[in-house]
Structures are given as C-alpha cells and as structure tokens.
Amino acid sequence: MKKSIIEEINRRAKPLRTNQDLDSLLEVIENRPFVLLGEASHGTSEFYTWRAELTKRLIVEKGFTSIAVEGDWPACYEINRYIKGEAHQSSDLESLLVESFDRWPTWMWANQEILSLLKWLREYNREQQSENKVGFYGLDVYSLWDSMEEVIAYLERAGYQEELKKAREAYSCFEEHGRDPQMYGFDAAMFSETCEDEVVELLLKLQDKKQQAIHRQEKDLSAEINTLVAVNAERYYRTMVRGGPDSWNIRDHHMVETINRIIEYHGEQNKMIVWEHNTHIGDARATDMPSEGLVNVGQILREQKGLDHVYAIGFSTYSGSVIAGKAWGEPFEEVSVPPAQTGSWEAFLHEASPKDKILLFNQDEPVFSQEFGHRAIGVVYQPQYERYGNYVPTRLSDRYNALIYIDHTHALQPLVPQLELV
C-alpha cells in the first residue's frame, strides 16, 4: 500500500518552485466563483506567501474581487477601507495592522506576509473603478464587544433612534457580565441569563432597514454583519460552556452566512477567495468530523453552491518551525515542527521526494481517497504531544480539490516582537 501511494505521488506531483508553477491550479480552477485556500497552521510563512501569490493571480487573471479570512469583521473592515483608499490613508499600514489586530492571536494577521499582500492590494485598487476594487473581510465570530460598539456608532451616525435604543439595550445586557465572553456563557448556561432576545430583535430591525433601502453602501453591509456577529457570538459563547459540537458548528455556519451576505451585497458576479485553516475549508465529510457531529465551511459551501462552483486547496508540511502559543492567551513563540508521524500523508509526501509540490485530485481517486492522518496545527501547539491530537484522519481527494505541499517550512514573521506581548 505504501509503495503504491508513493508511486502515485511521484507520478502525479507537479513541482512548485516559482509563481509560474501555479499555472496548473489556475487552469483547473477555471471560472469557479469560490476558491478556498487552507493552511495546516496559523503560523507558517510559506502558507501565507503562496496563498498571497495565488490570490494575486486569481485577482488579476480571474477577476476575483473579495478576500474573506478567518479574522474578526471590525478589524478586517478597517483594513478593507484602507486598501480601497477610503480611510486611514495618512496612517502607517504596519501600525494600522498592529492596532486593528490587537486580540490574541495577534500574529495571524499582523505579520510581514500579510503586510506585503495588503500593500499590493492597495496599489492594485488605485487603478480600479470602485466596483472592481478588491475587498478584505473578516468571517469570524469572536468580536462581540467590538461589533456591538460598531453597530451603536453606525446607528448614531445614521440617526436611527429606535434601532439605537435596541442596540444600547443589547449592549447593556452584555455589559452586566463584565465584557467577559466566558462569564456571559457561564451565566447564560447556568442561570438562563441570556441576551439572545435583544440581539435577535436588533438584527431583525436592521434587516427591515435593509429592505427599505434604495441605495445601500458598504458601511450598511458592515453594520449588518456586525449585528450578525453579535447574534451568533451570543449563541457561540452560550453553547461553548456546555461543550459538544454546537459552538464549532455555530461558528462555521456564521462564516458561511457572512460569505453569503457579502456576495448578496456585491452581486452574484462577485468571486471570492477564502483564507482559513484546513479544518475549516477542507470538506468535513472526508474526515472524522461527522462522527463528532461537526460540519465546516468547506462542506457547507459545497452543499450550498455545488461542487462545480467551489475549489478547495489544502496546505501541508513535513517539518520546520511555526509561530504558536503553549496555551490560549500565552505569549507566542517560534516552535519547531518535528518530522511528520510515520504513516501520515505528510510522511508519504516527504518519502516520495523532499521537494515542494502540487497535487491535483479528481473525484473517486483510488489512492488519494484512502484515509490516513493529516497534520493540523492550531494557535496552541505543543509538539511533544503532537501524536495525540494533531493528525486528522483524512481522505485527501475527498477533502480537497488540490494540495500544496511544502516540505520544510518556516515560522511566520509577526509585526510585534514576542517580548512586547508578554
């Protein structure tokens, strides 16, 4: 079995050395409107740089105009305004990134690799008409407080007094829990002290305004998404305390709902690139996630849009280094990534040849639809325990349309040194 896998890898692998080697991916992506770009960790430089190179080509050659990432909406929206020339033009982009992404894990978006891409996007957008400028949007659900504050500021500027009253009621409800999401989740689960009614009513009122609007602007979309974040963050933190699959599923459904609202605003002609971890963009049904009651963005988008409209690319590495924390909220550090576990996809890919490569998959692959472990590193990583929780049983060709494999990778370059965060 191992021999046949390695032989098939060597037969099918396309070299990845230069930007031109991405041609094979551009050809098979064709005109699909959704391209999902994964990563096997949140702290690997090569994952970011190759995603950036592919993103640039998708924008220039395929007409993509939206980038949606695993980040918070308020922070990403400020970056969106910057690269479109609408705000912060007198600001230093590096400082803006550090100020915007100040919630742990800061390094995910405040890094040199993203800084380089955003500079390119700003220059590209300067030459585009307004409707063709590329946007940068956050899909995540964690920004409860920031999103509520953004909604209140928007309603104050718009003069929507009835909606503003509801927003302040919702904000006040959350304030009673000390601006601590975990505390809110505990109180909601233990004592049924929830703010659900307040945020749902606010969202419904903003949706009514949306239906009445003749000419919506992107700031109106931003208020809508921030309210959606409040609704789903409330549900997320309330279910997280109880454990089980609900909080994960709420988060990934929120990401897809945000994608759909961005597409609705810009129009069906809008084509979107999604940057998220492999565990979000790779079809959950090709892993052990269904046995735990879990779904993810890749699965939901394939189900909603159809296989012919979604192209998912996973990323993988054999060894190297990564930025991560030893526990949630602890200072980040550069951590060595040991050689991949024997019998994993990464080990097979390395043994086939220790070179960077691209694998393109078809449906019903006899070799790549076999199930083996596939490495996944999160923002919390302790390599000494890797074998117990960092390999996801995966049928590669069912999970992705393609895989980019980097044999030896290096840690991301955060904009803020570690010592400044201690």
**Residue 71, pLDDT score:** 97
Of 86, 186, 204, 205, the residue nearest 135 (C-alpha): 86
Copy the structure tokens of residue 403: 């895989």
List b or e across 194-225, with b for residues whose CB sees 16 or more CB atoms inside 10 angstroms.
bbeebbbbbbebbeebbeeeeeeebebbbbbb
Of 17, 90, 89, the residue nearest 357 (C-alpha): 17
Cβ-contact 263, 364 below 8 angstroms = no
d(CA 310, CA 296): 14
Q: How far is CA 392 from CA 85, 245, 399, in A?
A: 42, 16, 11
Domains and CATH numbers, the chain: 2-138+271-420 (3.40.1660.10), 144-242 (no CATH)
Of 179, 246, 233, 237, the residue nearest 202 (C-alpha): 233
Cβ-contact 339, 354 below 8 angstroms = no
The pTM score is 0.95
d(CA 81, CA 88): 8
Residue type, 144: L
What is the pLDDT tens value at each position of the chain, 422 positions in all? Answer: 788 999 999 999 999 999 999 999 999 999 999 999 999 999 999 999 999 999 999 999 999 999 999 999 999 999 999 999 998 888 899 999 999 999 999 999 999 999 999 999 999 999 999 999 999 999 999 998 999 999 999 999 989 898 898 889 888 888 877 777 777 777 776 656 688 888 888 888 887 777 766 678 999 999 999 999 999 998 998 888 777 899 999 999 999 999 999 999 999 889 999 999 999 999 999 999 999 999 999 999 999 999 999 999 999 999 999 999 999 999 999 999 999 999 999 999 999 999 999 999 997 789 999 999 999 999 999 999 998 889 999 999 999 999 999 999 999 999 987 543 33
**Residue 421, pLDDT score:** 37
Q: How far is CA 336 from CA 9, 296, 410, 420, in A?
A: 26, 28, 9, 22
**Residue 422, pLDDT score:** 32
